[in-house]
C-alpha cells in the first residue's frame, strides 16, 4: 500500500531505514492514471522492503519545487536520503520492477 507524501512527512520518510520510491502525479494526468495500478501492485510486492509514496504535485507545491519536478509522472528513488534514480513519464511494469529491484 502506498503512503501519501506530504510536505510534513517527506523528510522523515526520505531518511528512513527503507528505500523510498515516490510517484509524483496529478489527477488530470493520463499517463499518471495509467501507471497508478502498477505502482500499487509493486507497493504490495515490495512491502516491508521499500516504502512507496504517492505525491499529488498540486498539494505539495513547495516539495515539488525543491525537488525540481517539472513533468508528471516523475518517479524518484531515494536511498540513504539521496536521489539514486529517476524515471520521467509512463513505463511498463517490467521497467518499473527493474528499477524497484535495483533499490534492494
Which pLDDT score, from 0 to 100, does residue 1 have?
Answer: 87
Percent of the chain with pLDDT over 90: 99
Annotated active-site residue in 21, 22, 32, 43: 32
Q: What is the mean pLDDT of the segment spanning 13-18?
A: 97
Q: What is the mean pLDDT of the segment spanning 23-50?
A: 98
Task: Answer yes or no: 55 catalytic.
Answer: no
Q: Locate 31 and state its grid cell.
A: 499517463
Calculate the CA 58 to chain-centre distance: 15
Over the stretch 45-94, which tens digit does the pLDDT of each residue have? Answer: 999 999 999 999 999 999 999 999 999 999 999 999 999 999 999 999 99
- pTM higher than 0.95: yes
Residue 95 predicted with pLDDT over 90 = yes
Task: Answer yes or no: 29 catalytic.
Answer: yes
13-22 burial code (b ≥16 CB/10 A, e <16): bbeeebbbbb
Annotated active-site residue in 3, 13, 18, 29: 29
Which pLDDT score, from 0 to 100, does residue 5 have?
Answer: 98
Amino acid at each position: 500500500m502506498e503512503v501519501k507524501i506530504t510536505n510534513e512527512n517527506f523528510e522523515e520518510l526520505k531518511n528512513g531505514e527503507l528505500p523510498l520510491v515516490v510517484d509524483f502525479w496529478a489527477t488530470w494526468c493520463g499517463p499518471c492514471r495509467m501507471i497508478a495500478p502498477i505502482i500499487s501492485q509493486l507497493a504490495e510486492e515490495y512491502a516491508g522492503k521499500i516504502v512507496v509514496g504517492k505525491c499529488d504535485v498540486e498539494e505539495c507545491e513547495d516539495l515539488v519545487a525543491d525537488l525540481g519536478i517539472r513533468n508528471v509522472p516523475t518517479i524518484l528513488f531515494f536511498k540513504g536520503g539521496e536521489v539514486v534514480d529517476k524515471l520521467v513519464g509512463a513505463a511498463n511494469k517490467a521497467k518499473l520492477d527493474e528499477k524497484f529491484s535495483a533499490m534492494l
